[in-house]
Amino acid sequence: MRSGFLFLGLWLILACSPETEKSLDIRKKSHGAYGEIVLVMDTALWEGELGNALKECFRQPFPGLPQAEAEFTLRVVPPESFSGLLRLASNIVVVATFDSESKSSQLMKTWFTDESISKVGEESDLYKYVRRDEFAKDQYSLYLFGENSSDLIQNLNSNCDELKDFFNQRERKRIAREVFSAKEQKGISKAIKEKYGFGFRVPFGYDVAVQEKDFLWMSQLGTDLFRNLFIAWKPYRSEEQFEIDSIVKWRDRIGRKYIFGSGEEDTSSYLITDQRYLEVESRVISFNQNYAIETRGLWRLKNFLRGGPFLSFVLTDPERERIYYIEGFLYAPNQIKKGMMRELEANLYTFQP
């Protein structure tokens, strides 16, 4: 199976009228909740095995949350209803098979030449195509197709992680643009660069809670809502520092030393990793072209009834022989948390060693 998104090149012809091209510079900006996808496909396909494969992929639980929340919200729309505001969605997925007489399939066929349809039949790994800014600015449209449902289901099952990563990366960049276009605390970001030697963009509303020679904690306090970002560092010694047990132990040492639940005058309540109900999950990723370990799990305050989800990254700065631990953790009881965790992730990705 080929990796990455495959483009059909000259075989694929997507219709674009002269009227559409003339209006490119006046299109409205796309919109939509973080992690929301408008899914254009026929009801019969959605209610069948193909729909089940899409649900299994995109509706998996968002990782590291105390309660189940689907990673993506799917708004299923039949082709005949795909118009107006729906075309302004930030994320669009169109699904069809060429052996079907459904409306979405007939629509898809008008965008392909006979030669391209034949090519899809010959090469079963040709199943997706991406268009940007098709109906609105800052929009991505993903077309998923196959000669039949069985071929497309097989490709969905084999490439689910790739498809989700595509939208997760796209959402992270979209969130960062929206968060920092509103207002950024450039003065704090500049002071961090000058004092510690690394880059980090600080969103509006965050205050510096603690700053030490090897630790920086910023927080945003609201009504029944508490967002937190912190960065810790120490000398890099060996690859063992990237092992999950070492990471959790380091995190707990940071919490006990710096992050107290009732202020520095009461050190009996501090941040700890909570694995009573959910084990910490980790994976190797590329963090801004750097090797890193992503970790997700739950936190709580020792001797205090308060907790929530966290997301962290561990990476090195070879030039300074440092290893960094950066984290975002959230307290938002009785609220949907996946959107806020996506915001924290976008903030963390502004870190530059």
Read off the pLDDT of residues 301-319 as tens digits, 9 standing for 90 and up.
Answer: 987 778 999 999 999 999 8
**Average pLDDT taken over every residue of the chain:** 87
Region of poorest pLDDT, from 15-29, 148-162, 203-217? 15-29
Residue 92's contacts (CB-CB under 8 Å, 6 or more residues apart) are: 37, 38, 40, 134, 135, 139, 140, 141, 142
Q: How much is the pLDDT for 21? A: 45
What's the CA angle centered on 249, arms 243 and 252, to 5 degrees? 140
pLDDT digits (tens, 9 = 90+) for 178-226: 988 878 899 999 999 999 999 999 999 999 999 999 999 999 987 788 9
Q: Would you state the pLDDT for residue 6?
A: 41
CATH code of the domain occupying 9-179:
3.30.379
pLDDT of amino acid 120: 63
Residue span(s) of the chain under CATH 3.40.1000.10 come to 184-348
184-348: CATH topology: Protein Transport Mog1p; Chain A (3.40.1000)
Residue 23, pLDDT score:
46
Amino acid at 94: V
Rounded distance between C-alpha atoms, residue 275 and residue 297, angstroms: 8
Residues contacting residue 299 through CB under 8 Å, at least 6 positions apart: 255, 271, 272, 273, 274, 307, 308, 309, 310, 329
Average pLDDT over residues 278-293: 94
102: phi then psi, degrees, rounded to nearest 5: -65, 165
Q: Is 105 helix (H, G, I), strand (E, B) or coil?
A: helix
pLDDT band for position 121 (cuts 50, 70, 90): low
Which residues in the chain are classed under CATH 3.30.379? 9-179
Q: Higher model confidence: residue 318 or residue 124?
A: 318
The alpha carbons of the chain give a radius of gyration, in whole angstroms, of: 23
Q: How confident is the model at residue 3 (pLDDT cuts 50, 70, 90)?
A: very low
Tell me the mean pLDDT in the region 274-295. 94
pLDDT value of position 13: 38
Structure tokens at 63: 């990782």
- Is the pLDDT score of 337 beyond 70? yes
Please tell me the least confidently modeled range out of 3-12, 175-184, 261-270, 338-347.
Answer: 3-12
Taking alpha carbons only, the member of 319, 321, 312 closest to residue 344 is 312
Provide the β-strand partners of residue 316.
Answer: 323
Q: Which two tokens stand for residue 337?
A: 């948390």
| Separation in Å, CA 309 to CA 67, 71, 272, 280, 330 | 10, 14, 12, 10, 6
Percent of the chain residues topping a pLDDT of 90: 69
Percent of the chain whose predicted confidence (pLDDT) is above 70: 86
Integer Cα distance of 327 and 200 in angstroms: 12
How many other C-beta atoms lie within 10 A of the C-beta of residue 10? 9
Q: Measured between alpha carbons, how far is 296 from 328 in angstroms, rounded to an integer?
A: 10
Instruction: State residue 263's pLDDT score.
Output: 58
Each residue's pLDDT tens digit, 46-83? 999 999 999 999 999 999 999 999 999 999 999 889 99
* pLDDT tens per residue across span 221-233: 877 889 999 999 9
Model pLDDT for residues 227-276, shown as the tens digit of each residue:
999 999 999 999 999 999 999 999 999 999 999 876 555 677 899 999 99
**What pLDDT does 111 receive?**
66
Tell me the two tokens of residue 277: 């109900």
